[in-house]
């Protein structure tokens, strides 16, 4: 049995990527399945993945959920294809996982804090919203 996507036979990878694209195009991502991780990501003893407490997954997206001490929640988003989610897809992900009333931000950090080891995109759900918005 293959352990990673890259280890699947080429034809199975193509089928999986084609199915992902169809689901993205149609908006039919399928139901979210949540897995609790009370001890963090398996094999993660340190780094931010050690504090991931839940994984949400459907036919397109995998979202790691990491609660932070200040009440914010870090959502790390990825897919098999590694394709960047559109703004509307990120909005929908935020709505479906954190709620429609939640405010989330995407951060572009100083260059020396950039970590780019995976095609993963990040949102931080802030507990009290922001002191500014397009309506304020």
- Whether residue 90 is contained in a domain is answered as yes
- Whether residue 73 is contained in a domain is answered as yes
- Whether residue 118 is contained in a domain is answered as yes
Q: What's the domain range around 60? A: 30-126
Kindly report the CA angle at 100 between 102 and 88, in degrees rounded to 5? 100
Please tell me the total count of domains within the chain.
1
Quickly state the pLDDT bin for 3 (edges 50, 70, 90).
low
51-74 pLDDT tens trace: 999 999 999 999 999 999 999 999
- Whether residue 134 is contained in a domain is answered as no
Give the C-alpha separation, 119 to 82, whole Å: 5
- Whether residue 24 is contained in a domain is answered as no
- Whether residue 107 is contained in a domain is answered as yes
7-65 pLDDT tens trace: 889 999 899 999 999 999 999 999 999 999 988 888 777 788 889 999 999 999 999 99
- Whether residue 132 is contained in a domain is answered as no
Which CATH number fits the domain that encloses residue 61? Answer: 2.60.40
Give the C-alpha separation, 125 to 73, whole Å: 5
């Amino acid at each position: 049995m293959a352990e990673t996507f890259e280890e699947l036979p080429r034809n199975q990878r193509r089928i999986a990527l084609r199915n992902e694209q169809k689901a993205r195009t149609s908006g039919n991502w399928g139901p979210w399945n949540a897995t609790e991780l009370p001890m963090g990501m398996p094999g993660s003893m340190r780094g931010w993945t050690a504090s991931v407490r839940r994984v949400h997954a459907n036919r397109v997206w995998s979202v790691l959920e990491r609660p932070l001490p200040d009440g914010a929640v870090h959502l790390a988003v990825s897919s098999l294809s590694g394709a960047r989610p559109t703004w509307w897809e990120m909005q929908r992900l935020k709505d479906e996982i954190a709620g429609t009333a939640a405010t989330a931000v995407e951060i572009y950090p100083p260059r020396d804090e950039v970590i780019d080891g995976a095609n993963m995109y990040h949102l931080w759900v802030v507990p009290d919203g922001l002191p500014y918005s397009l309506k304020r």
